[in-house]
Every structure is written in C-alpha cells, then in structure tokens.
Structure 1
Amino acid sequence: MTHTLDQLQISLPSPEQRITPDWKNAERLQIWVKRDDLIHEVISGNKWRKLRQSIRYAQTNHIQHIVSFGGGHSNHLHALGYVCSALKIKLTAIVRGHYHNNDTPMLRDLKAWQADIQFVDRKTYQLRDDDAYLAALSQQYPNAMFIPEGGSSAHALTGVSEILRELRQTYDYILAPVGSGGTLAGLIAGASAQISDKQANIIGIGVLKGQDYLEKLVSNLLLKQALGPVQQANWHIEHGFHFNGYAKTTPELTAFCQHVNHTLGIPIEPVYSGKLFWAAKKLIEQNTFAKDSRILLLHTGGLQGARN
C-alpha cells in the first residue's frame, strides 16, 4: 500500500485572525495572526511547512529512511516522527543529551511511533553540520536522507515561502520567531520572489542567544537558494527578547502566555510563540511601527514543546 501526503489531512491555508490586544499603543495599528498552529493537531505550524518538500522528495525518490537531529523537546523531531510513522518511513532521531532514564513527552511519542532514537553528548551533537561527521553517519546509515536540525534545509524555504502566497491582504510588517533560521529564510525568499511595489518588512524574533549566529544561519540558507543581498527583501532579527536563552523563561513570560490565551483565545507557549507575542507587545509599546501599519504575527505552532 502506498502512503501519501494527502492522508495526513493537513488543513491549509491557515486563517489570518485579527486581534485587538490590551497592549499600549495597539489601537494605533492593525494586528493580525497567521494561525499556522491550526494546520494539524500534531504536525503544527512551521514544522509542516519546512518538512513537506523534504518528505515529497523522499517519497518521489523511494527513500525509506530519514535521519535528523534535535533536543529532548524538539518540535521538529516530534512532527517528523509523526509523519514518518504515518507514511511508514523509518526515522533515526539523533538526540542531544542522555534521556535514558528521563523521557520527555516528545521522546515517549517517538518511541510509540517506532523511531530509532540515538542519544549523543553535547560535544558530538555540535558536529551535526560537520561534513566529516555527516559522511561517517552516511556510511552508518546508507541510503538514508538527512534533514538538518529544525528541518531547516533548502527544501524548507520553498515550503515556508508558500505562506506569503496564502495571504489575503498585504502587510507592512511580518514578525516570526527564529530558532534554526529556516522559517525566516523562507519568508525572505518568498518576499524576494514577489513582484510588488511594496514588500513587507520581515522581522525575526530571536528565541535564543544568537546575535550574528542567527543572521549567519539565515544568510547561508538564502545563499543555497542563490538569493544575493541585492535581491533580498528588507529583514532583520531582534535579539532582545530571548529571555536569556533557548527554552528559557520567567514567571512574567509564563503569565503573559496565559494572559494571551485567556484574553485572545490563542494558545502560545514560552519557547517560540510566547517570545514572538512578547516582542510584538514591547515593540508596539515603543512606537516602533507607524500609525495604521498592518502587522502580521506568524504563529509557528510548537505547542507540544511546552508539555511537562
């Protein structure tokens, strides 16, 4: 039996929802949320956007084994694990850290989906983009397809860029969280390919300590798409809202996420979407955006990563 992408029942396009938050100066603007968290109950948000073209490539080329990387709470590995299980593709997940006696909810799901989980120490994990290390893994797993951490491959940019073609209106600013760089690079690539007198300014919200590092990740992904600096849309990354590191939070941020969920009916978590909404609130309070600007927040899902 052939297993196809259609059986995953992905719900696209995701809706654009107007919000009126109780933030200082918010009434001066039009604020919308692209609800990619509603794409699928498991393969949420940008994870499906970044995986779709890779999975299509694997199926077209009859690849039956995928190897990828992530931490013990990885949204990417979680989505990939579900997809591989549904489509009967073997997954080897190379996981940073040793969780042999301390399973996370994500790892329990991967085990239930029959993934092959290989734990490595942090020093080894740092080699995940090293050519020699990947060559050795290729020998260990012959005929496997490798997908980078976070799903941020060249294939990912094509999938993410489709977001812009779905939009029902134009925006002055598009804000998105940045972790592995693929989502921001895909938005930039999509905007750069548009024929329009007015392109949106694309603002990434860094969710980890990564000034210069995140910019390099994004630029390298764009180079693989042969997008030179002159052609690129206007973009930058804000680095003041990471709360001291990836997956780091504070009681204030946690309370803010709960408040957004309660007042706006939009579930957010402190790893990705919470920092995006927090950054938007602070930038709006600082009058960063001109009056009557249209602002779109890209909700990239990832809610499973907040499970305990």
Structure 2
Amino acid sequence: MEELLDPATTSVRVLLKHDDNKTRKLRYNLGHARVLTFGGAYSNHIRAVAAAGRRHGFETIGVIRGEERLPLNPSLAYAAACGMTLTYLDRAAYRLKDTPEVLARLRERWGEVFVLPEGGSNAAAVRGCAELPGEIADDYDVVCCPVGTGGTLAGIAAGLPPGKRAIGFAVLKGAGFLVDEVARLQREAYGRVWDNWSVDLDYHFGGYARSTPALDGFIAKYQVEGVYVAKMLYGLVDRVRQGAFADGTRVVAVVTGQPSVPVSLCGAPTGFDSGDPRWRR
C-alpha cells in the first residue's frame, strides 16, 4: 500500500489500498446461466458483469438507464464486445426498476434470469467484500471507503476485527437512506447488523458525478478517480483537518474500482481512453 502525504494528515497515517470491489461483489454471484443487471451508460458494474460473463461463459443482459444513443460510448461498446445484450429503460421506468411490476415485465421479455441489483450490492456481494479486511497486512484502526449502493461498506464492516471501525463517504446527495440500506444488506448476508460503521453524508459535492472547483483541484493534485474516490479522500483529509481522528490513528482508505478497463479480454472499443476517469469506476 502507498501512503497519502498531505500537510493536513501529518497527525494520522493514511494508507491507500487499491481494490477492485466490483470483482469482489461478483465473486459469490457467479454460477447462473443468465444474469440481468442494471446501470448507467458509464457504469463500471455493467462492464464488470459483461467481462465476467465472457470469462465464465454465462449470458448477460444490461438494463441501461435512459435512451439508447448510437454510436455506443466506449463503456457500453466494451460491454457489447464482451457479449452483453443491452436494453434500455427511460428514467421514469428506471426509478421503478426494483418494483415487482417492472421486474415481472423484464422476466416476461427475457425469461428465467438471475437479477443482480444496480451496483451489484446484495448479500453475496457483502460476503465478498467482507474478505477485504483480512487482506490488509499493515496495522490499522479505521477503514474508509466510498459509498454508492452500500454493499462495499456493509461487507468491510462485517469483516473487521474487534476494535476496528469503518467509515463510508456517500457520493450521492440526500443519501441518508444508505444507513438503512447498509444495515439491510448486513442482515440479509449475516442475520445481524454491526455497530462499527457510519456513513458520512457531507462530501457529495452536489450529487452523483457532480463536482466543485475545490474537488476538481483535489483531483488534479492527486490524480484520482473523481466520482467516488476523490470524494472519499477529500472528506477524509478534511475530517483529519477538523480533528475528527486522534493523533496517531492509522487509516486505510480503500481506492475502489479498476485502474483501467481490462481491454485484454474483450478488446478495446473504438474511442477507448483508459486515462478518462469515468472508466475507472
């Protein structure tokens, strides 16, 4: 792991653990003949499911938020190159994607499918993410991660040794529901809820994929992915600056997502740019 060196964090030690949480979420969700899942047009989850389907030989269907736009952007082109069938729901219908009515229509169209939630967060995903703390070799007190759907935080907290705690930084505006969602995911996976975690709601910077000049400057300084990771790290540094951690606290910040699209499996789509931070999530 590398160390984050910032003048504001001299009183604590911040270590960065790069981790492909999408692969962790899928680890115990494989084994189905046909998987249907959801995501936006730039979803790293969609790409990860498509790649897993190609690698392990199962059919994948991606239900994409919004209208079809041709030519496909590089993210969706990659998913299609991996063999994923793409279909679309307008934004009004997409908001209802988890309702029995919409799911029934999807099953009527696509037949027998295993439905994987948006972001891949379900009980099996939580169990995969719970393995992360056991792979941290350095001593630590706190683990931080970005939070979009709650599965990564739910798993990390469940896998922590006694005396450690987890903090998730929400990337969504108005994300108070995530507290209940993380608890629900832990109950589904393990039948209990841990009390060693919390969700910080103050560093969304206007909402999902939104930014501000301050966050843009932080991204430029540290060259980190902007939708998830930068918000977590900015929030962590700011909380250290405010004295939220005792001197000497050792924090592991989980840098989620892939360093780039794994082009070796399905081939790089036209226009692919691994330097574009959207492809890192």
State TM-score, norm by structure 1.
0.80
Q: Distance in 1 between matches of 2:215 and 2:259?
A: 15
What letter corresponds to residue 215 of structure 2 in structure 1?
Answer: L
Alignment pair present for 1:120 and 2:89: yes
Q: Distance in 2 between matches of 1:306 and 1:145?
A: 27
What letter corresponds to residue 21 of structure 2 in structure 1?
Answer: N
Alpha carbons of structure 1 residues 102 and 248: separation in structure 2 relative to 1, 3 Å: farther
Alpha carbons of structure 1 residues 102 and 209: separation in structure 2 relative to 1, 3 Å: farther
**SS in structure 1 of the partner of residue 22 of structure 2:** helix
**Which of the residues 138, 163, 175 maps onto 2:107?**
138
How far 1:247 moved relative to its partner? 0.8
What letter corresponds to residue 101 of structure 2 in structure 1?
Answer: A
Equivalent pairs, count: 264
Correspondence for 2:57: 88
**Which of the residues 260, 278, 281 maps onto 1:306?**
278
What letter corresponds to residue 284 of structure 1 in structure 2?
Answer: V
Q: Distance in 2 between matches of 1:211 and 1:219?
A: 14
Correspondence for 2:249: 293
Q: Which moved more, 1:146-155 or 1:105-114?
A: 105-114
Mapped contact 2:144–2:168 kept (Cα < 8 A): yes
How far 1:132 moved relative to its partner? 3.0
Alignment pair present for 1:178 and 2:147: yes
How far does the alpha carbon of each residue in 1:260-305 deviate from its partner, in whole angstroms, 9 at most, with x for none?
A: 13xxxxxx21101111111111111111100000101011125556
**Which of the residues 137, 157, 167 maps onto 1:203?**
167
How do residues 1-308 of structure 1 correspond to structure 2 at under 5 angstroms? 17-24=1-8, 26-36=9-19, 45-55=20-30, 58=31, 63-101=32-70, 103-191=72-160, 194=161, 196=162, 198=163, 200-229=164-193, 232-261=194-223, 268-302=224-258, 306-307=278-279
How far does the alpha carbon of each residue in 1:14-63 deviate from its partner, in whole angstroms, 9 at most, with x for none?
A: xxx14141232x11111111111xxxxxxxx11001011101xx1xxxx3
Gaps of 5+ in 2: 261-276
CA RMSD of the aligned region, Å? 1.9
How far 1:137 moved relative to its partner? 2.1
Q: Distance in 1 between matches of 2:78 and 2:63?
A: 15
Q: Distance in 2 between matches of 1:206 and 1:227?
A: 24
Q: Distance in 1 between matches of 2:250 and 2:33?
A: 44
Calculate percent identity across the aligned residue pairs: 31
**SS in structure 2 of the partner of residue 244 of structure 1:** coil
State TM-score, norm by structure 2.
0.88
Q: Distance in 2 between matches of 1:137 and 1:49?
A: 26
What letter corresponds to residue 294 of structure 1 in structure 2?
Answer: R
How far 1:100 moved relative to its partner? 2.2
Alpha carbons of structure 1 residues 307 and 255: separation in structure 2 relative to 1, 3 Å: farther
How far 1:114 moved relative to its partner? 2.2
Mapped contact 1:66–1:145 kept (Cα < 8 A): yes
Mapped contact 2:169–2:232 kept (Cα < 8 A): yes
Mapped contact 1:178–1:184 kept (Cα < 8 A): yes
**SS in structure 2 of the partner of residue 255 of structure 1:** helix
Gaps of 5+ in 1: 1-16, 37-44, 262-267
Q: Distance in 1 between matches of 2:176 and 2:140?
A: 27
Mapped contact 2:12–2:247 kept (Cα < 8 A): yes
Correspondence for 1:13: none
